[in-house]
Structure 1
């Protein structure tokens, strides 16, 4: 098999799908024939994504839910199953940023706010999503957790975000073992720095400068690059990929890229 026809008509929930990586994943899934249930706290933007998908010939519906609220996640999963009759997968993408502070200056309220969305929200999505996938007897069940480069390494002032994403990585690995015998794969994607709405108000020269600092190849990632990986992980092409923590960061997690003069720069033809 060399294409993604295996994903056609698979039912999937994508959280945090009103913008950014979640939006790109939802649109890519729908473009490949998946039945997508988008969820977000921003109903207006979420409905707009559904409209765009429908206009492009895809199938999608929207359900407003806060991933940190157990009752709302239960209702989201129930909505997906009632709407499409089953559930094959869930992409736990919703997350929030954290205050950039040293640890002793953080408050318990700040800790709880970040963990409630970034860790508890993923746990709830996995718990109730996996239950529904099992009950659906899906032969190609999948869970994809969107972690972060911060799930692989630390940065000064980012203890809360780093801890939440490390927790997602650990949860992913353990769940992969728990459900490997039940036709469910569980994997995490760890994005580096991507061009999303957070950069909308930044001047292009600022973005270019930061991209050179943050990314070894000197550019920000495009959300569709994450979406293409998520499509692979939802397909039957990846059924032996389980418990994998996949970085997509242009090599940032591989180490520190330092300037190095070549002995023969002429090979570049400049």
Structure 2
């Protein structure tokens, strides 16, 4: 722990487990205070409790938060102001995938995918920027996916939504720069990461988790599946002032897949 994020005030969505929990823990370890939010309020509270047990009371806070609801975004921003004293790091991590190719994907699932993966970032940035401006310099980190840059015939909704996150991040970055806000915005693009999502994938395909991991690893040039901290460490970099000259960019954490 080198306190790379000392003084940062961070809100992380989708923080009940997996990548979101890892982002919260790593940011807190590096000196940030963190508001963990998730539609699973109990899970978000558990994340905050783990951090406070490790780093001391008052390091992390939590609220239940439906990221598709603009009113709940207002409540989340208010909570950041009330509980942490402000906000200067926003990590839009909440996201889902949906099944189905272009012929079989249900339109309701398509809409839900965009609501959670894209519209949440629109609402979040729109609601958070006024408070972030008061506590600049700041950083917005949007978790996209390598699937936003490389397509698959089996996941059009996920591909399209994560590509939207990529381009939306660039537009937000340019807006903030043009208006001299001192707020940067970048996207992160992971490939397969060992989170509870893969447990569900293995169960849905009726195969052991280790068999799934081996299958996924064979698709990655580095031949292993990522760990949550492989992604969270990039979030720490983007949240910190070390990345002060980076905005409108994308970080690919894909083990080399996009190089092929």
Match of 1:187 in 2: 186
Match of 1:113 in 2: 112
1:182 to partner: Cα distance? 1.4
Question: What aligned pairs does 1:237-256 form with structure 2 within 5 A after superposition?
Answer: 237-255=242-260
> 2: distance between equivalents of 1:242 and 1:109?
34
> 1: distance between equivalents of 2:230 and 2:210?
23
Match of 1:224 in 2: 229
Would the aligned equivalents of 1:154 and 1:162 in 2 still touch at CA under 8 Å? yes
> 2: distance between equivalents of 1:94 and 1:205?
26
Structure with higher Rg: it is 1
Match of 1:260 in 2: none
Which deviates more from structure 2 when the two are superposed, residues 163-172 or residues 207-216? 207-216
Match of 2:164 in 1: 167
SS in structure 1 at match of 2:150? coil
Which deviates more from structure 2 when the two are superposed, residues 208-217 or residues 160-169? 208-217
Unpaired segments of 5 or more residues in structure 1?
256-270
SS in structure 2 at match of 1:103? coil
Which deviates more from structure 2 when the two are superposed, residues 240-249 or residues 202-211? 202-211
Question: What aligned pairs does 1:1-270 form with structure 2 within 5 A after superposition?
Answer: 5-58=3-56, 59-99=59-99, 101-134=100-133, 136-138=134-136, 140-180=137-177, 181-200=180-199, 202=202, 203-255=208-260
> 1: distance between equivalents of 2:210 and 2:17?
23
Deviations 1:38-73 (A, max 9, x none): 000112221111111011015100011010011111
Deviations 1:87-121 (A, max 9, x none): 1110000001111x221333321221111101101
1:247 to partner: Cα distance? 0.5
Which deviates more from structure 2 when the two are superposed, residues 41-50 or residues 201-210? 201-210
Question: Aligned residues, how many?
Answer: 250
> 2: distance between equivalents of 1:197 and 1:153?
23
Unpaired segments of 5 or more residues in structure 2?
203-207
CA RMSD of aligned residues (A): 1.5
**CA pair 57-212 structure 1, distance change in 2 beyond 3 A:** closer
Match of 1:262 in 2: none
SS in structure 1 at match of 2:11? strand
> 1: distance between equivalents of 2:69 and 2:174?
26
Would the aligned equivalents of 1:4 and 1:235 in 2 still touch at CA under 8 Å? no
**CA pair 212-87 structure 1, distance change in 2 beyond 3 A:** closer
Deviations 1:142-185 (A, max 9, x none): 00000001111100111101110011011001111111221101
> 2: distance between equivalents of 1:4 and 1:192?
27
> 1: distance between equivalents of 2:23 and 2:228?
8
TM-score by length of 1: 0.88
Match of 2:205 in 1: none
> 1: distance between equivalents of 2:181 and 2:70?
24
Deviations 1:117-148 (A, max 9, x none): 011011111111222201x241x200000000
> 2: distance between equivalents of 1:117 and 1:4?
34
SS in structure 2 at match of 1:45? helix
